[in-house]
Amino acid sequence: MSAPLADQLDIVIPTIRNLDFLEEWRPFFQPYHLIIVQDGDPTKKIHVPEGFDYELYNRNDIERILGDKAWAISFKDSACRCFGFMVSKKRYIYTIDDDCFVAKDPSGKPINVLEQHIKNLLTPSTPFFFNTLYDPYREGADFVRGYPFSLREGVPTATSHGLWLNIPDYDAPTQMVKPKERNQRFVDAVMTIPKGTLYPMCGMNLAFDRELIGAAMYFGLMGEGQPIGRYDDMWAGWCTKVICDHLGVGCKTGLPYVWHSKASNPFVNLRKEYKGIFWQEEIIPFFQNMTLSKSSTNVEECYLEMAELVRKGLGHIDPYFTKLADGMVAWIEGWRLLNPKA
């Protein structure tokens, strides 16, 4: 089986446990380099199955490498995965949770998530005009009648957001109301998220182009010592979508699917989420109304400008947002440290 972009893509996995789940992924992941970010106790030994090419970082490594900026990487939360985005030297990133397994399409064929994500990233997005046949670059589809010819070239794709069968990505209140609900709907579609539209980005099955959006793929301050959790990927999704819209690149959602095997505890989740459930009603309009200046012409400039807008526009909600804005700045400083311009 050929492995597309094997020398240009890293797989980033945050974990606190042995990575036995990789055995099921071996046919698809073994040709690629893995970056494992170990959360929690750095003295704990994490077992990685033989035959995988990987590097593993724990909290001690993060503090050694980032020094006084290490505080910006979350502790005891899967948000620590973004450290892997920072240390990677590859063009593309795929990140997955360790409770996600290989899904099957309706014919029973195992789904090669990397193959589909790479197709999504290497074909253009169409954020400025919606195509009712969804992805026009897919085999068997095209632009429909009435689609402007001036927009048919599309724009580069920065983010490919995949979905999940079995356990859906629900918030705690929805989990409590529908504890037995499972997603069994396989929707065979990929679509571009329109310009000006935000979306709830999930980091469980996500690929992106580091050159186009990597410097903004910061999963915020979550976990130990923070008043909020389970909003790490949401935060990154809001920030990256606003920047993608500003810079004229695209975000796709839909295929590929993974099999999400384990429902997290809704009561634990509620304790992590409850402030965010209130705060998001103000945060989302803040991002919807955000306008970045024309002088911000690259991702790093956009993100630093966004950090100051967060400080001024959300700081009144809670002191946490001032600290988060500082974290965004520290993230960019760390990014520049590990990714110096040529």
pLDDT digits (tens, 9 = 90+) for 225-243: 999 999 999 999 999 999 9
Q: Is the pLDDT of residue 42 over 80?
A: yes
Alpha carbon distance 292, 246 (integer Å): 7
Cα–Cα distance measured from residue 141 to residue 318, given in angstroms and rounded to the nearest whole number: 48
Which region, left, alpha or beta, applies to residue 146 given φ > 0 means left and ψ of -120 to 50 means alpha?
A: left
Residue 1 pLDDT exceeds 90: no
Instruction: Over range 302-325, report the average pLDDT.
Output: 98
Tell me the percentage of the chain whose pLDDT exceeds 90: 98
Q: Which residues pair with 75 in a beta bridge?
A: 223
Structure tokens at 161: 């957001």
Can you tell me the distance from the alpha carbon of 223 to that of 225, in angstroms, rounded to the nearest whole number?
A: 6
Q: What is the mean pLDDT of residues 135-140?
A: 95
Backbone torsion region of residue 213, taken as left when φ is above 0, otherwise alpha when ψ lies between -120 and 50, otherwise beta: alpha
Rounded to 10°, the helix 299-314/320-338 angle is 170
Neighbours of 300 (CB within 10 A): 17
Which residues 6+ apart lie within 8 Å of 179 measured at CB? 263, 266
- pTM, to two decimals: 0.97
